[in-house]
Amino acid sequence: MKNLKRFFSPILLIGFLFSWISYGISQPAEKYPYQNPTVLIEDRVQDLLNRLTLEEKLELLGGTGFATKPIDRLGIPELRMADGPLGVRWGPSTAFPSGIAIASSWDTAVAKKVGQCIARELKGKDRHVILGPCVNIARIPQGGRNFESFGEDPYLCSRMAVNYIQGVQQQKVVATIKHYAANNQEYERDFVDVQVSERALNEIYFPSFKAAVMEANVLAVMAAYNKVNGAYCSENQYLLDHMLKTEWGFSGLVMSDWGAVHSVIPTAVSGLDLEMPSGKYLKLSNLLEARKDGRVREEQINEKIRRILRVMFTIGLFDNYPAGDTRVINSAEHRQVAREAAKAGIVLLENQDRILPFDLKEIKSIAVIGPNAAIARSGGGGSSKVTPIDPVSPLEGIKNKVGKQIQIFYAPGIRLDGDEKAIESHFLFTDKSMKQNGLQAEYYDNKKLEGEPTFKRIDSNIDFQWHDEAPFDDFPSDDFSVRWSGVIKPPKSGKYVFTSASDDGTRLYINNRLLIDDWNDHAVEARSATITLEKGKIYPLTFEYYEHGGDAIVLLGWQLPGENIEQEAIHIAHKADRVLFFAGTSANYETEGRDRENLLLPNGQDQLIKKLAAINPNLVVVLITGSPVLVEEWIDEVKGVLQGWFGGVEMGNALADVIFGDYNPSGKLPITFPRRWEDCSAYATYKKESGVTRYDDDILVGYRHFDHYKISPRFAFGYGLSYTEFSYGDVEISSPQFSPGQKIKIKVPLKNTGSYAGSEVVQLYVSEVNASVLRPPKELKKFQKIFLNPGESRIVEFQLDMNDLAYYDPNQKNWNVNPGEFEILIGSSSQESDGQKVKVNFVLK
């Protein structure tokens, strides 16, 4: 026994020790306060902040592309982002209608539903932050990003923004309102100095941001590229510290736009918290020395970190943040929301002889024509461009609707730049021996085609949409270049139009001649050039491309000699009962990075519309654009006009619902359509000085400008027809006197006097009579969208308070109302509100 005890004792001891160690390991480690979800967020933030080293704090101030840096030691995760605001730009997703289409609905519930769907899809992509909404005012009608935002009026824009943000953040997803501030043009946007009055900022350009902060509790704000009154937005203390954080009490995260930071110390001591996409300036090597010599105080750094952590804690990122459901991406439910939003935003601009809706019982054939008929223009270009899943074009939507009931003819009539198909492989050869189809491709890991290529291969043709991905594994997704070389053999003699469409630069050489020279940074754009080639002859071809940042997209296409797609369109217009011409622009024209050159429909669409109208009087034009176009050349020669916008993935079905009467259009314009560019408020100063744009129009932007100068627009702000008619009764007001702290109620009867059920947007404007300071003739202050069945009536009620009468007084640095008389105007558009008005006196007591 003695020997056995000696044998077992060490074993028992080892077993006891192993059990004790295992017990200790199996027990949860003692939680720090920041790890405890029952602790108040501010206490968790402070606890975690206290545990960070200075070096770790400085690391958190710069991003890693589309995320913040994790701190593994303390379990701080990445805060992962994705572009928006029209859907999730992180692989294929549901493309929702453009912001201007959502604003055209004048329906805040639509904005909220779209925000909810986008947030759900974002979580399905394992992301936490959507980089939207965009709320920049459409000051310039040809602005490249007008389509992303909510139009020209600060009140309408703010209502849409608040509801969009609420929809997003209800899903524990961070919304990012952008671009703060006065980012109203793409021309010279990276450095242009916006010279704008304090009053205009507060009355026109700030309200959407202010409402997002003070009403929707938005969690993130993105600083814009441009300067405002001399200082870049990312280091602008008036914008970030004084207004955003002090006046409005914003407690969330302020990030830069991608590459919008220009300094170390001015940025570090201002209200910017996070530099994106990386810490080029706000990085350890720069800030550690600045902290040591006192140029940057640690409390300034701490405040930035607090805000980053506060956002993480607010959405529950430390508390087993639930994995998203990938099944919601492009789900039937989300596509239905996209379809409803697209329908709600369609605006009926003209309807002579009640040509719309089309009656299938009376029509045997329809000619569907136009460059936007067979292509689903779901959105504009740039960082908001979503890769849609199975988008429905107008032509497809019409076919889905009518089936075999009527005959559908189709011809494009015109092509837009960038729509050309890629040159087919059988016309391309790697060398003069013509033994191998395709082109020799050399891929460089820099954007200058320098050194030895990293990869070589043969590409059958040039049509690539890598987006944010790299062409190969172990190859950069940004800052690379490619050279394709070989020969091309034309199938016929004549003039060929070569087109390059790319995000960033291209150069095309044919027969050793530089044909296209577009070697600069930009969002997706198309460039074309014409050259005469002979059938069967071999021509050397070299095509070069570089990618700097953002999307990686490149195409080389051509148009063969002798194509006459216009004649085909004229032919089918002759024999059809009705003609639908789908006109407009595309993501190659309306895009981040540049403004349109003019307001004309590109590539001769105006002329073709006039030809078709002369052939077939039953012509309806459907505009697929992201902002206004001029229609003066043909507006009096067509019977119907619909504004369809960039309508998202279900745009084709939505348009068909309206065209054939399954949905009564109720959209209203969120932006004025001018008769000419010269009539617009920005005309006098836009592009007049290099590096500077002066907002001399001040508070008179959009319809305010047209009203003040008594300029007749083609289609007014708030305008939109219906298949039914609405009548307004007499306006009633609860009190003719209005004093501080008082609210007054306004009532107006509304009746559907037509034969279709439909919705009307009742708009309330306020006008100061005999104002002692400059005031716009009228300003939108309230609106409601009301659905009524035929013959149904309803009393529409509004409530106003003193703030609805106020203007910003730069002398007092505050909002002010002068005693006097005001008119309250109610109607169906900014120009049709004068008929229903009452007067009220504001009295100081």
pLDDT in tens, 631-643: 999 999 999 999 9
Contact residues for 34 (Cβ-Cβ < 8 A; gap 6+): 44, 45, 47, 48, 51, 318
pLDDT of residue 844: 66
Given pLDDT bands bounded at 50, 70 and 90, which one contains residue 31? Answer: confident
Q: Judge whether residue 19 has pLDDT over 90.
A: no
Q: Which residue has the higher pLDDT, 14 or 333?
A: 333
Please compute, for residue 11, the number of CA atoms within 13 A of its CA located in the half-sphere on the CB side: 5
Question: What is the distance between the alpha carbons of residues 687 and 595, in angstroms, rounded to a whole number?
Answer: 11
Single-letter amino acid, residue 219: L
pLDDT at 469: 86
b/e sequence 386-408, b meaning 16+ C-beta within 10 Å: bbbeebbbbbbbbbebbeeebeb
Catalytic residue among 107, 257, 417, 419: 257
Q: Is the pLDDT of residue 843 over 50?
A: yes
Could you tell me the CA-to-CA distances from 668 to 36, 340, 353, 621, 841 in Å, in that order?
49, 15, 21, 17, 30
Pairing, β 836-842 against β 463-465: unpaired
Query: To the nearest 5 percent, what fractions of the chain are helix, strand and coil?
Result: 25, 25, 45
Place of tokens 């309306």: 590
Please tell me the number of Cα atoms within 13 Å of 786 on its side-chain side: 27
Answer whether 782's CB lies under 8 Å from 798's CB: yes
What count of other Cβ atoms lies within 10 Å of the Cβ of residue 797? 14
Which structure tokens are listed for 147? 């389509």
Residues 655 and 644: beta-carbon distance below 8 Å: yes
Total-model pTM: 0.92
**Owner of token pair 């997704």:** 477
Kindly report the CA angle at 379 between 377 and 380, in degrees rounded to 5?
105
Q: Identify the band that residue 1 occupies on the pLDDT scale cut at 50, 70 and 90.
A: very low
> Looking at residues 738-752, what average pLDDT do you find?
93
Q: One-letter amino acid identity for 477?
A: S
Please enumerate in sequence order all residues whose Cβ is within 8 A of that of 760, keeping only pairs 6 or more positions apart, or say none: 666, 722, 726, 750, 752, 785, 786, 788, 828
Residue 845 has pLDDT above 70, yes or no: no
For residue range 526-578, what is the model confidence (pLDDT) as tens digits?
899 999 999 999 999 999 999 998 789 999 999 899 778 899 999 999 999 99
Bridge partner list, 525? 502
| 163 close to 107: Cβ distance less than 8 angstroms | no
Query: What letter would DSSP give residue 245?
Result: I
**pLDDT range class, residue 18, cuts 50, 70, 90:** very low
Least confident segment among 13-22, 90-99, 521-530, 600-609: 13-22
- The model's pLDDT over 471-497, given as tens digits with 9 standing for 90+, comes to 999 999 899 999 999 999 999 999 999
**d(C-alpha 248, C-alpha 133), whole Å:** 19
pLDDT band of 740, cuts 50, 70, 90? confident
pLDDT digits (tens, 9 = 90+) for 240-279: 999 999 999 999 999 999 999 999 999 999 999 999 999 9
Mean pLDDT in residue range 314-322: 94
CA dihedral 737, 738, 744, 749 (to 10 degrees): 50
In the three-class reduction of DSSP (H, G, I as helix; E, B as strand; rest coil), residue 796 is classed as strand
Cα-based angle 73, 79, 85 (whole degrees, multiple of 5): 175
Mean pLDDT of 373-400: 96
Q: CA-CA distance, 658 to 667, in Å (whole number)?
A: 11
Q: Which pLDDT value is given to residue 841?
A: 85
| Residue 692 C-beta-side C-alpha neighbours within 13 Å | 9
The crossing angle, in degrees rounded to 10, of helices 108-124 and 332-345 is 150
Q: How confident is the model at residue 695 (pLDDT cuts 50, 70, 90)?
A: very high
Q: What is the DSSP letter of 122?
A: H
Residue 41: which of 421, 396, 304, 315 has the closest Cα? 315
CA–CA separation, 577 and 573 (whole Å): 8
Give per-residue pLDDT as tens, 406-464: 999 999 999 998 898 899 999 999 999 999 999 999 999 999 999 999 999 999 999 99
Rounded mean pLDDT of 175-203? 98
- Residue 10, pLDDT > 70, answer no
Structural domains of the chain, ranges and CATH numbers in brackets:
33-319 (3.20.20.300), 348-417+564-657 (3.40.50.1700), 425-559 (2.60.120.380), 726-842 (2.60.40.10)
The per-residue pLDDT of the chain, averaged, comes to 94
Measure the CA dihedral 355/358/359/362, to 10°: 70
Contact assessment for residue 220 and residue 179, using Cβ atoms and an 8 Å cutoff: no
The answer to whether 766 and 823 are in contact (CB under 8 A) is: yes
pLDDT digit string, tens, across residues 35-78: 999 999 999 999 999 999 999 999 999 999 999 999 999 999 99
Under 8 Å between Cβ of 800 and 744: yes
Whether the Cβ atoms of residue 760 and residue 750 lie closer than 8 Å to each other: yes
Looking at residue 43, its pLDDT comes to 98
How far is Cα 360 from Cα 402, in angstroms, rounded to an integer? 8
Answer whether residue 780 shows pLDDT above 50.
yes
Confidence of residue 3 (pLDDT cuts 50, 70, 90): very low
Spatial distance between the Cα atoms of 161 and 134, rounded to a whole number of angstroms: 8
The average pLDDT across 116-130 equals: 98
* Overall average pLDDT of the 364-382 stretch: 97
Q: What is the DSSP string of 594-622?
A: B--S-SSPSTTHHHHHHHHHHH-S-EEEE
Residue 805 DSSP SS3: helix
257 is known as an active-site residue: yes
Q: Say what the pLDDT of residue 677 is.
A: 98
